[in-house]
Amino acid sequence: MNALVTKIDTSSKEFTDRKIRYKDIVGTYNKNIDSVCYNSDEKSVQRHKSRGKLLARDRINLLVDPGTPFLELSALAAFNMHNNSFPSAGIITGIGVIHGIETIIVANDATVKGGTYISETIKKHLRAQEIAKQNNLPCVYMVDSGGVFLPDQAKVFPDKFDFGRIFFNQARLSAAGIPQISIVMGSCTAGGAYIPAMSDETIIVRNQGTIFLAGPPLVKAATGETVTAEELGGAIVHTEKSGVADHIAESDEHALQICRNIFESLPRTERQYVDRQMEYVEPEYPAEELYGILPVSTREQVDPREIIMRIVDGSRFHEFKTNYAPTLVTGFAHVMGYPVGIIANNGILFSESALKGTHFIELCNFRKIPILFLQNITGFMVGKTYENAGIAKDGAKMVHAVATANVPVFTFIIGGSHGAGNYAMAGRAYDPRLLFMVPAAKISVMGGEQAANVLISIKEEQLKKSGKEINEEEKIQLRDSILKKYEEEGSAYYSTARLWDDGIVDPADFRKTIAMGISISLNKKFPEPRSGVYRM
């Protein structure tokens, strides 16, 4: 493969100014992360620690292998929602390594409303289980939860993908041979009691962990029986009498060690073979230069090769169909030794772009090479000429290829993500194994200005039919309100709060995040392609 050569003057004022601006954007992102990860309610934290309990992130740090990364997912879930009273939606999820086994970890944060579940908590928990299923990853649940957040019970209890789906997933994952391990480190009440009860193995901490379908107050109200929490469902009860738990631990630290011991006996997955280069070189250009390259508004289009050369090994990239349909860049590279096919936007999508993308996806299917989508797309070209030429059917080919890809797909939204371009470039609806956004990314059905123009035109037509007109002042007010709405609802923070993605990522971390994603995907064999390569 040939090494890409930058065309950007990194000493120019334009580059320097953009880099400063983007660093400010990343600085705001880091402050937001700190606000949910390290600034919990101090009284709740002290009360938690006074009981001899570790904080959720400290528990994770002790569980995973020393020196290995933990890829946290959706850290900003529920951000700027519920008066910010549920930082990280009260639960920490991510991918870590335990005794060399890549694992999904789900940890309740009992300092956030007693670890109870709101709708975003459930969505985050279910997404972690979905990733476990897609990639054949064991699950560890660090249970410290009061169950459903009762004031929101109507939003979290009755529907298909509400609280009960967690236990359904556990059963299906276990049936598929994917280990389910629970560590009961605090309260485990009502429906939450089924998390440890449905696990393959369960650890419970003495004088700290409890499991019961109804706590002492409800038992008293329902039956008149007076009983303590420990008598009702403590560690002794469940390891010596009921058999609900299998191992008793004396402390959080002891429980985490028992969990690590369990992992020593878990069978190793037969991984999908890819021709990984064990000796690889870093990109020719530093990742920090991405701050001066990535778009800070949806109006900006950047050459994706400038981004690719700062992510891939040795900045080497074997481009496919270089001179055909140049608004879509496709080609092969390696990231930390792992082979990857890259599909990146270089402008609007035309029929030729869609056909090129479809052809490339088929090549990746047959070569068993994971695909990375770099999204910065306003959508497909519109207009009479393009509709008459069949852009809808050509776009459908690419959408079909994305939806039926046999290899793992990963999506990074590095700029705008709008309209059907989101679908063709493996948006959330197309099940990428992981989907991340950068802090300045935007996602909406169309850009704010386009939406404003469309809605003003519709309003004018409506008034015209009734013999009225909209004046300029009203137009300005309507435009401003639409732009404000799209600016808020299209932001990366709005998206990640609602779990439309798997989190916001610092561009400097692109490389290791992509490599971790590819690595976890190899725990499940890729299906065989069902047809040959069709030249588009």
The stretch 356-385 carries a mean pLDDT of 95
Yes or no: say if 73 and 108 are a contact pair by the CB < 8 Å rule.
no
Would you state the structure tokens that stand for residue 333, as one six-digit string? 């590279």
3-state SS of 334-350 is EECCEEEEEEEECCCEC
Which residue type sits at 116? T
> 3-state class of 97 per DSSP?
strand
Q: Lowest-pLDDT range, 100-109, 239-248, 470-479, 519-528?
A: 470-479
How far apart CA 147 and CA 197 sit, in angstroms, is 14
Whole-number average pLDDT of the chain: 94
Range 94-122 average pLDDT:
96
Q: Taking the mean position of all CA atoms in its chain, how far away is CA 348?
A: 26
3-state secondary structure 57-73: HHHHHHHCCCCCCCEEE
DSSP letters for 186-236: EEEBGGGGHHHHTSSEEEEETTT---BSS-HHHHHHHH-----HHHHH-HH
When mean pLDDT is compared across 31-35, 398-402, 463-467, the lowest value belongs to 463-467
In sequence order, the 6+-apart residues with CB closer than 8 A to the CB of 377 are: 345, 348, 349, 415, 416, 417, 418, 419, 421, 422, 424, 425
Q: What is the pLDDT of residue 447?
A: 77
Distance CA 123, CA 131 (A): 12
- What lies within 8 Å, CB to CB, of 355 at 6+ separation is 325, 394, 397, 398, 536
Once rounded to an integer, what is the mean pLDDT over residues 206-233? 92
Residue 457 φ/ψ, nearest 5 degrees: -60, -45
Both tokens of 14, joined, read 């334009």
> Left (φ > 0), alpha (ψ -120 to 50) or beta: where does 532 sit?
beta
Residue 76's CB is within 10 A of a number of other CB atoms, namely 24
Between 71 and 49, name the one with better pLDDT.
71
Q: Is the pLDDT of residue 393 over 80?
A: yes
What token pair was written down for 30? 């880091």
Collapsing DSSP to helix, strand or coil, 285 comes out as coil
Residue pLDDT, tens place only, 396-438 = 999 999 999 999 999 999 999 998 999 999 999 999 999 999 9
Report how far Cα 28 is from the mean position of its chain's Cα atoms: 20
**Residue 104 carries which DSSP code?**
E
Average pLDDT value for residue range 113-137: 96
> Distance between CA 237 and CA 235 in Å, rounded?
5
Q: Which of 65-74, 213-222, 285-294, 345-354 has the lowest mean pLDDT?
A: 213-222
456 pLDDT higher than 90: no
Beta strand extents in 287-370 (DSSP E only):
318-320, 328-335, 338-345
| Location of structure tokens 């939406």 | 451
Q: From CA 435, how far away is CA 505, in angstroms rounded? A: 10
Q: For residue 56, what is the DSSP state?
A: H
Nearest to residue 107, comparing CAs of 259, 230, 289? Answer: 259
Segment 488-521, tens digit of pLDDT:
999 999 999 999 999 999 999 999 999 999 999 9
Residue 365 tokens read as: 């299917």
In this structure, the dihedral spanned by the alpha carbons of residues 316, 317, 322 and 326, taken in order and rounded to 10 degrees, is -110
Q: The pTM is what?
A: 0.94
> What is the spatial distance between Cα 42 and Cα 442, in angstroms, rounded to a whole number?
34
* pLDDT tens column, 304-317: 999 999 999 999 99
Provide the total of helices (H) and of strands (E) in the chain, helices listed first: 20, 14
More confident residue, 480 or 165: 165
How long is the chain? 536
What's the rounded mean pLDDT across residues 191-212? 94
